[in-house]
């Protein structure tokens, strides 16, 4: 049943749920239906039955089968839930009978009776879908209590207060969830009673007060529900199960599924389980624990517990829980048993477990176990340790570490040993630590940053107008907004640290200061943020630069053995190349030559070259540039010795090397308005005319890339000469070299054919002059839709393709990233017009399809065509998975992303092998 995003009216659905059980046992039941198995005892299930039993049901089933002490119970299947919806919210035939039978099984195992006044069985009724949807659906505890069983339980436990409190909680929860009565009515009554009795907390309420409260609760039910509060436990159970089914389609749950892209037709299972109580005295307790430290990965039990308490007390934070180690002294037998079970669970699941347990009168009950969430460091250490312990294979170890976690370890971090003063904690929105002076608007941030000061931009929220300030800042702090807020998304896109939604930070934009943790930081005063943890920290603190630990190295080396894709790096300078090699890059996938043009002593030459009136003058300036470029290429080729280095010929439109039109216009206009002598502004006016001449409406689609080279072949000649001369020199020095020359922005085969002719003839000239030859390749960026669509033709002249997915995404979508990201693209992502930012993760349907065409048709023309990607997507795990599927040869990303990319490439390969199996 596809529910879609339809939202059933809440009241109607509730009524249906309440009505459901009665109809389910009507005489209409057909025999065929009755034979279907709707209910599984815990011992009948296992971990592989998540589809049918839900995650929680499969989990307790697995624990039960493993012989662990799990309170007995059963699971009503997701099929039953779907049948319930198909029958317009009536139980499927036979289900209720199976529930009754299974309930008798629990009674047998616990020796208690459901509704038995002397030895009453209480149960919990919990939802449990295939995918965890924490807090989204409903749970009823202590079901089975009524005035009679209450007395029995009180007698049995000897604790009347506890029993009354349990009953009070049951009525409250059941009324809200099953009967659909506004929970606030009960909360108000509780508050009134506490106030009247002078009770500080719920626990201070005496039995008599609780009894009065219960009477009041009953009154509320009588007034707001159609009848009395149901006292028959079987009736309670029927209604609770119907309510849990119905909660699958409450608004919260539907929104959650839409957001997390969980299908709406899975349905939820319902788990009915005997209650155990950690609040039955000092030999009772409740707690949570990890089998290993989830922060560091250290191999020791890690967790906390509370004696004489219920699970919710741990969460509520009224009493401070004790470290789990203390339990060894306080409840030694239970601790030993728990330790054993923890070891066994870890071995069973072959992963760190996050466990919930309750000790009821010295008896240990395991309530839940699941894979434990862990930090990046812990993930890596645990994975490496478990391989050493022969618990998991190297493949599993590699799969246990997320590329993002490796990425995180490669960001600047605050020294864990440092003594820091935390002023506030917000969301860890974009990893890494940053230090700078506080600045409260984007323009000033830009100004001060350009002045050489490190700044942190502090805003209540950011919006597109702030982007230039974010670019200039070391990091960003906002007091409002979540992980998908503008600040968070943009900062992650930029790879800048960001703490978002730090609500305890009070930003005063008028006074230009913020206050947090009692400290006021004014504009220009320094502080630190930690985007990996969300901390806002006073002053400057010692930081650790990114580094790769031995364990990370180990996992990455394993990943290297498993991946098929090579990982290359983008880098323009020798130091980039050196760093990339250090991170394991197997080549340079993109060396942008124009960055070299921008350097101080070169720019004037470049400008003279651009303004040259004829080819002769242009060649003269190019000759001056040649030695600079040759040295650059010499350095980078030397740093990569023997590994391939792809050097891209000049790409940007020429006006990028000249002053801005607006600036010049202002200067000239002002000088003219003030009647200054022409000699003072003639030069600027000339420059303005030249810039005007080069001005384009849409420079991204203008005179750039190979188009420049076809108009001014002398530029291509100079660059080729610089590359080949550098390579020849290294060859003479016996350094192996593999230069590859990449032609940008090719859209037609003829563009590449002609450019290549020029490159080859220039190379031949250098070979003749130097009496050396080196092997080099010529290839092209595939960054225009037409290049992809005609790749079969283009491959005639190309020995390699490199997908320039930034530009390819821009042209395929018709979206200029610079313009769009602030103006509408992030909003598109926020509003889910787009599932994600296509500049971060490759768009499979559009850009990915073009890539597939290009790879297939390019290789059809030239089977040994080397194909890679050098856009920013090259470092994104999901995009890397697509590159694996498309049979690319390598991905190339920024040096810092290389380690994560190595891991992601292994993941992609393993997933594909698994899928193809």
* Catalytic annotation, residues: 486, 870
Q: Is 891 exposed, middle or buried (0-12, 13-18, 19+ CB in 10 A)?
A: buried
Considering only residues 256, 573, 767, 824, which one is a binding residue for a copy of itself as defined by CB under 8 A? 824
- Cβ closest to a copy of itself, residue 91 vs residue 828: 828
Separation between Cα atoms, residue 196 and residue 217, nearest integer Å: 16
* 789 touches a copy of itself (CB under 8 A): yes
3-state SS assignment for residue 105: helix
The length of the chain is 917
Spatial strand order of the sheet with 322-323 comes to 322-323, 302-307, 285-290, 353-360, 363-371
* Whether the Cβ atoms of residue 497 and residue 434 lie closer than 8 Å to each other: yes
- Cβ closest to a copy of itself, residue 128 vs residue 744: 744
Footprint of a copy of itself on residues 709-748 (CB under 8 A)? 710-711, 745, 747-748
Q: Which two tokens stand for residue 203?
A: 């626990």
**C-alpha gyration radius of the chain:** 34
Pattern 614-653, a copy of itself, x by CB under 8 A = ----------------------------------------
The 3-class secondary structure across 202-261, one letter per residue, is: HHHCCHHHHHHHHHHHHHHHHHHCCCCCCCCHHHHHHHHHHHHHHHCCCHHHHHHHHHHC
Q: Which helix (H) or strand (E) holds 436?
A: strand 433-439
Instruction: Collect all residues with Cβ–Cβ distance below 8 Å to 27 and sequence separation of at least 6.
Output: none
Give the interface size with a copy of itself as a residue count (CB under 8 A). 60
* 833 touches a copy of itself (CB under 8 A): yes
Considering only residues 159, 783, 876, 884, which one is a binding residue for a copy of itself as defined by CB under 8 A? 783
Query: Considering only 375-383, 404-412, 468-476, 782-790, which stretch makes contact with a copy of itself by CB under 8 A?
Result: 782-790
What CA dihedral angle connects 243, 245, 250 and 254, to 10 degrees?
A: 170
Considering only residues 380, 850, 882, 893, which one is a binding residue for a copy of itself as defined by CB under 8 A? 850
Q: Which of 497, 640, 471 is nearest to 571 (CA)?
A: 640
* Whether the Cβ atoms of residue 490 and residue 471 lie closer than 8 Å to each other: no
* 843 touches a copy of itself (CB under 8 A): yes
Scan for tokens 């940008």, then name that residue: 744
- Cβ closest to a copy of itself, residue 146 vs residue 811: 811
3-state SS assignment for residue 365: strand
* 785 touches a copy of itself (CB under 8 A): yes
* 847 touches a copy of itself (CB under 8 A): yes
Q: How many CB atoms lie within 10 A of CB 599?
A: 11
Q: How far is CA 669 from the centre of its chain?
A: 51
- Cβ closest to a copy of itself, residue 8 vs residue 702: 702
Footprint of a copy of itself on residues 453-482 (CB under 8 A)? 465
Separation between Cα atoms, residue 308 and residue 291, nearest integer Å: 23
Q: Which two tokens stand for residue 604?
A: 């004037």
**Cβ at position 481, least distance to a copy of itself in Å:** 19
Q: Which two tokens stand for residue 702?
A: 């203008």
305: phi then psi, degrees, rounded to nearest 5 = -150, 165
Q: Which two tokens stand for residue 524?
A: 């220009």
Query: Considering only 337-345, 590-598, 702-710, 897-905, which stretch makes contact with a copy of itself by CB under 8 A?
Result: 702-710
**Cβ at position 811, least distance to a copy of itself in Å:** 5
- Cβ closest to a copy of itself, residue 465 vs residue 733: 465
Query: Considering only 359-367, 568-576, 706-714, 858-866, which stretch makes contact with a copy of itself by CB under 8 A?
Result: 706-714
* 697 touches a copy of itself (CB under 8 A): yes
- Cβ closest to a copy of itself, residue 23 vs residue 844: 844
* 854 touches a copy of itself (CB under 8 A): no
Footprint of a copy of itself on residues 660-679 (CB under 8 A)? 661-662, 665-666, 669-670, 672-674
Considering only residues 232, 680, 696, 914, which one is a binding residue for a copy of itself as defined by CB under 8 A? 696
- Cβ closest to a copy of itself, residue 69 vs residue 785: 785
* 885 touches a copy of itself (CB under 8 A): no
Query: Considering only 27-35, 129-137, 471-479, 697-705, which stretch makes contact with a copy of itself by CB under 8 A?
Result: 697-705
* Whether the Cβ atoms of residue 359 and residue 286 lie closer than 8 Å to each other: yes
* 256 touches a copy of itself (CB under 8 A): no
Footprint of a copy of itself on residues 750-779 (CB under 8 A)? 750-751, 754
Scan for tokens 């209604």, then name that residue: 239
* Residues contributing to the site for a copy of itself (CB under 8 A): 465, 661-662, 665-666, 669-670, 672-674, 693, 696-703, 707, 710-711, 745, 747-748, 750-751, 754, 783-786, 789-790, 793, 807, 810-816, 818-820, 823-824, 827-828, 831-834, 843, 845-847, 849-850
């Amino acid at each position: 049943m596809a529910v879609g995003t339809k939202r059933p009216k809440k009241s109607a659905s509730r009524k249906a749920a309440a009505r459901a059980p009665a109809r389910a046992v009507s005489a209409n039941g057909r025999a065929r239906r009755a034979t279907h198995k709707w209910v599984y005892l815990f011992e009948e299930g296992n971990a592989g039955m998540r589809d049918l039993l839900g995650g929680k049901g499969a989990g307790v089933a697995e624990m039960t089968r493993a012989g662990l002490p799990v309170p007995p119970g059963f699971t009503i299947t997701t099929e039953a839930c779907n049948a319930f919806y198909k029958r317009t919210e009536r139980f499927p035939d036979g289900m209720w009978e199976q529930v009754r039978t299974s309930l008798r099984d629990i009674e047998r195992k616990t020796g208690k009776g459901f509704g038995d006044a002397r030895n009453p069985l209480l149960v919990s009724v919990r939802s449990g879908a295939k995918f965890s949807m924490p807090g989204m659906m409903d749970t009823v505890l202590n079901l089975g209590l009524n005035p009679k069983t209450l007395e029995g339980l009180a007698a049995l436990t000897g604790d009347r207060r506890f029993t009354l409190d349990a009953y009070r909680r049951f009525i409250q929860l059941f009324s809200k969830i099953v009967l659909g009565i506004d929970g606030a009515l009960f909360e108000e009554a509780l508050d009134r009673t506490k106030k009247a009795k002078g009770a500080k907390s719920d626990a201070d309420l005496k039995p008599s007060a609780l009894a009065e409260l219960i009477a009041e609760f009953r009154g509320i039910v009588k007034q707001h529900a159609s009848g009395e509060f149901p006292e028959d436990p079987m009736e309670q159970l029927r209604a609770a199960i119907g309510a849990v089914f119905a909660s699958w389609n409450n608004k919260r749950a539907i929104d959650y599924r839409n957001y997390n892209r969980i299908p709406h037709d899975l349905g939820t299972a319902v788990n009915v389980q005997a209650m155990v109580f950690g609040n039955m005295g000092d030999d009772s307790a409740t707690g949570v624990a990890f089998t290993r430290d989830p922060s560091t990965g250290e191999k020791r039990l890690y967790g906390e517990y509370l004696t004489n308490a219920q699970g919710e007390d741990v969460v509520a934070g009224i009493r401070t829980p004790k470290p789990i180690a203390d339990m060894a002294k306080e409840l030694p037998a239970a601790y030993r048993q728990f330790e054993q079970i923890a070891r066994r669970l870890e071995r069973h699941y072959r992963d760190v477990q996050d466990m919930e347990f309750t000790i009821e009168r010295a008896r240990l009950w395991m309530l839940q176990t699941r894979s434990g969430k862990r930090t990046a460091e812990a993930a890596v250490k645990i994975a490496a340790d478990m391989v050493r312990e022969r618990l998991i294979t190297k493949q599993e170890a590699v799969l246990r570490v997320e590329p993002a976690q490796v990425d995180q370890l490669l960001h600047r971090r605050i020294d864990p040993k440092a003594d820091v003063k935390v002023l506030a904690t917000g969301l860890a929105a974009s990893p890494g630590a940053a230090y700078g002076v506080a600045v409260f608007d984007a323009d000033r941030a830009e100004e001060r940053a350009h002045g050489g000061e490190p700044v942190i931009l502090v805003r209540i929220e950011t919006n597109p107008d702030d982007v230039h300030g974010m670019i200039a800042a070391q990091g960003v702090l906002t007091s409002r907004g979540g992980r998908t807020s503008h600040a968070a998304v943009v900062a992650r896109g930029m790879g800048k640290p960001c703490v978002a939604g730090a609500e305890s930070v009070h930003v005063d934009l008028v006074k230009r200061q913020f206050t947090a943790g009692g400290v006021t930081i004014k504009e220009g005063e320094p502080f630190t943020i930690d985007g990996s943890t969300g901390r806002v920290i006073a002053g400057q603190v010692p930081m650790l630069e990114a580094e790769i630990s031995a364990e990370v190295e180990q996992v990455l080396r394993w990943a290297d053995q498993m991946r098929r894709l090579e990982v290359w790096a983008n880098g323009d300078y020798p130091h980039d190349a050196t760093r990339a090699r250090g991170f394991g890059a197997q080549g340079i996938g993109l060396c942008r030559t124009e960055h070299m043009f921008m350097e101080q002593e070169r720019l004037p030459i470049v400008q003279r070259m651009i303004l040259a009136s004829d080819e002769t003058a242009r060649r003269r300036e190019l000759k001056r540039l040649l030695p600079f470029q040759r040295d650059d290429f010499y350095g980078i080729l030397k740093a990569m010795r023997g590994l391939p280095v792809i050097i891209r010929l000049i790409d940007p439109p020429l006006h990028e090397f000249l002053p801005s039109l607006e600036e010049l216009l202002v200067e000239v206009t002002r000088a003219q308005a003030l009647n200054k002598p022409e000699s003072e502004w003639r030069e600027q006016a000339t420059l303005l005319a030249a810039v005007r001449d080069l001005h384009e409406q849409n420079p991204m689609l203008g005179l750039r890339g190979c188009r420049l080279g076809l108009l001014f072949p002398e530029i291509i000649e100079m660059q080729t000469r610089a590359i080949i001369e550098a390579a020849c020199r290294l060859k003479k020095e016996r350094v192996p070299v593999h230069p590859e020359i990449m032609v940008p922005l090719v859209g037609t085969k003829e563009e590449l054919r002609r450019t290549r002719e020029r490159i080859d003839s220039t190379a031949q000239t250098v070979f003749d002059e130097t009496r050396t030859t080196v092997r080099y390749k010529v290839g092209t960026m595939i960054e225009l839709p037409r290049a992809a669509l005609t790749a079969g033709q283009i491959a005639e002249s190309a020995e390699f393709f490199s997908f320039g997915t930034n530009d390819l995404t821009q042209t395929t979508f018709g979206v200029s990233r610079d313009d769009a990201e602030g103006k509408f693209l992030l909003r598109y992502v926020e509003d889910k017009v787009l599932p994600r930012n296509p500049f971060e993760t490759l768009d499979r349907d559009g850009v990915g399809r073009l890539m597939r065409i290009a790879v297939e048709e390019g290789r059809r023309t030239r089977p040994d065509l080397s194909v890679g990607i050098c856009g920013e997507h090259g470092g994104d795990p999901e995009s890397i998975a697509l590159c694996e599927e498309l049979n690319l040869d390598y991905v190339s990303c920024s040096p810092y992303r290389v380690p994560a990319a190595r891991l992601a490439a292994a993941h992609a390969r393993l997933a594909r092998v698994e899928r193809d199996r």
